Amino acid sequence: MFVLLKGLRHARREIALSVPAARGSLALRHVDAGSCNGCEHELAAAANPYYDLQRHGLNIVASPRHADVLLVTGPITTRMVQPLLIAYEAMPEPRLTAALGDCAVGCAALVGEQAQLAGPLERVLPVDLRIPGCPPNPEQIAAALLDLMREAKQRVRADRSRSWSPQPRHPAAKA
C-alpha cells in the first residue's frame, strides 16, 4: 500500500494540466453512441493521477439525473439514438450537450453515409460544445470542459433573473 501511494504522489507531482483551476463544478454523464472506444479511453484517462479532472470540479456521474453535461462520443449509430434521447430527457434543466471527438462532431474521415449512422450529434441533439480530435487527448478534453464551465457560469449569472435555458429545444429531442 505504501508503494502504491508513493507512486501516486509521484505522478501527481508531474500533473500535466496547465489550466488554472476554476471554481465551480460540472457533473458529466458520458454516452457512447458508437465510438471506437478511443474517446472513452481518453475521457477515462482525464481522471487518472496525471490530469485528475476531479481536482477541477469535473465529476463523471453515474446517472443522467445527476448530470449537467451530456458528453457524447461516436458517430451516433441508429441503434443508439433512442437510448441517447432517453438519457437526454432524463437530465434536469439547465443541461448542456457536448460532442466529444471527431466522430460526434462530424468531421471524422471514416464517417460517411452509412445507413447504420444517424449522426453526427447535431442532427440528433442541440450541441453546446464541440471537442474535436481523434481522439482528443485528456488535456484537450479537460481544457474544453473547463472553458465550458466558465462560460456556463457567466451565462447563469447573466440570466439569473430569468430561469435559464441554454438553447431552444431541438425537435428531435422531444421524440
Partner 1 sequence: MSVHGREIVRALSPARILVVAPERWRAECELHAQEGWRFCGLFATSGAQQPRVSCVLARGGREHVLSTSVPTGILDTLVDLFEASAVDEREAHDVYGVRFHGHEPLRPLLEHPSDPAAWTVPVQGHDPYQVAVGPIHAGVIESGHFRFTVVGERILNLDLRLFYKHRGLQTAAEGRRLADGLAYAARACAACSVTNAVAYAQACESALALAPDRNLRRARTLLLELERLYNHLNDISAICAGVGFAPGSMAFAALKERAQRLNQRLTGHRFLFGAVAVASSELRIGHVDARAARHELRSIGDGTRSLWRELRFAASVQDRLGGVGCLTRDDALRLGVVGPSARASGIEKDTRSESPRLAYGEFAPVSVARASGDVAARFDVRGLELEQTLALLDDLLDGNLTTGAVKSLGGADCELGVSRVESPRGETLCAVQHHGGSVVRLHLRTGSYANWPAVACAARENLLPDFPLINKSFELCYACADR
Amino acid at 150: R
Cell of 120: 453526427
Q: Is 54 in the site for partner 1 (CB under 8 A)?
A: no
Q: Is 114 in the site for partner 1 (CB under 8 A)?
A: yes
The label of the residue with cell 437510448 reads 83
Q: Is 135 in the site for ligand SF4 (CB under 6 A)?
A: yes
Pick 121 or 152: Cβ nearer ligand SF4: 121
Min CB(128)–partner 1 separation in Å: 20
The label of the residue with cell 453546446 reads 128
Q: Is 158 in the site for partner 1 (CB under 8 A)?
A: no
Closest to 146 measured CA to CA, from 37, 24, 30: 24
Q: Is 134 in the site for ligand SF4 (CB under 6 A)?
A: yes
For residue 27, CA distances in Å to 11, 23, 47, 66 come to 25, 14, 13, 7
Counting every residue, how long is the chain? Answer: 175
Pick 76 or 152: Cβ nearer partner 1: 76
Binder of ligand SF4 out of 108, 121, 145, 148 (CB under 6 A): 108
Q: Is 143 in the site for partner 1 (CB under 8 A)?
A: no
Pick 13 or 157: Cβ nearer partner 1: 13
Q: Is 120 in the site for ligand SF4 (CB under 6 A)?
A: no
Q: How far apart are CA 68 and CA 91, in angstroms?
A: 7
Q: Which does residue 41 touch among ligand SF4, partner 1, none (CB within 5 to 8 A, set by kind)?
A: partner 1
H or E element at residue 129: strand 129-131
Q: By Cβ distance, which residue is nearest to ligand SF4?
A: 38
SS3 5: helix
Pick 111 or 152: Cβ nearer ligand SF4: 111
